[in-house]
Copies of this chain bind each other. A is one copy, B any other.
């Protein structure tokens, strides 16, 4: 009710923010195909033509959106990392390692969903953003896996570490989506699953690193013989 007197630039900035938020909402709820200056402007409460007061075109808005989204995701990651460092025990810290990107993703579900879509879509303006974000997350995982004790010293092991990180990253995204959809309500449990997945993979690296080829590690009868 009590509208504080806004300066012209403040009002403009506010409109600009409304446009970005409207675009993000439409992007998330209806998809990039449904995005148009008509819808965004209407949702922001201005005329369609006024869209161009704030952005050169839709591409321009999406560029800004991706930049801000990337910064927000990086911020969430930083914060999660900081919190993880304050954890008392090693075990909690270990699990936190896999919980960090999980939480960062879940803190911005729209950005996660948009990123997953745009990543493989050649017609998406947000593809660069998606690819860069995915790479950042994969690197995060690779660094975490390396911190768990494994050092990649030849090309094959480096590639394997990258493959594992990419797999873990994909699993992280899948579980984050499942969590957001309500199927996996407990984020700790998601982190547990990811921890367990990575554990098996690191074991492979260590086995394969010490011997020339050891496809059947002894003393690991986990593949129970219930067949056909």
Q: List A residues at the B interface (Cβ < 8 Å).
A: 29-34, 90-91, 93-94, 113, 116-117, 119-124, 147-150, 159-160, 162-164, 166-171, 173-175, 177-178, 183-184, 189-190, 192-204, 206, 215-216, 220, 222-228
Contact = CB atoms under 8 A, between A and B. Distances in A.
A226 B163 contact: no
Contact of A200 (B33, B174, B184, B198): B198
Given A163-B184, A166-B171, 5 more contacts: A90-B225, A94-B223, A147-B226, A150-B224, A193-B201
With most chain B CB atoms within 10 A of its CB, the pick from A159, A163, A215 is A163
Contact of A149 (B116, B167, B225): B225
A169 B174 CA distance: 9
24 contacts: A31-B121, A32-B121, A32-B123, A33-B33, A33-B121, A33-B124, A117-B120, A120-B177, A147-B227, A150-B224, A166-B171, A167-B175, A167-B197, A169-B174, A170-B170, A171-B197, A193-B204, A196-B200, A196-B201, A196-B203, A197-B197, A198-B200, A199-B223, A202-B222
Contacts of A121: 31-33, 117, 121
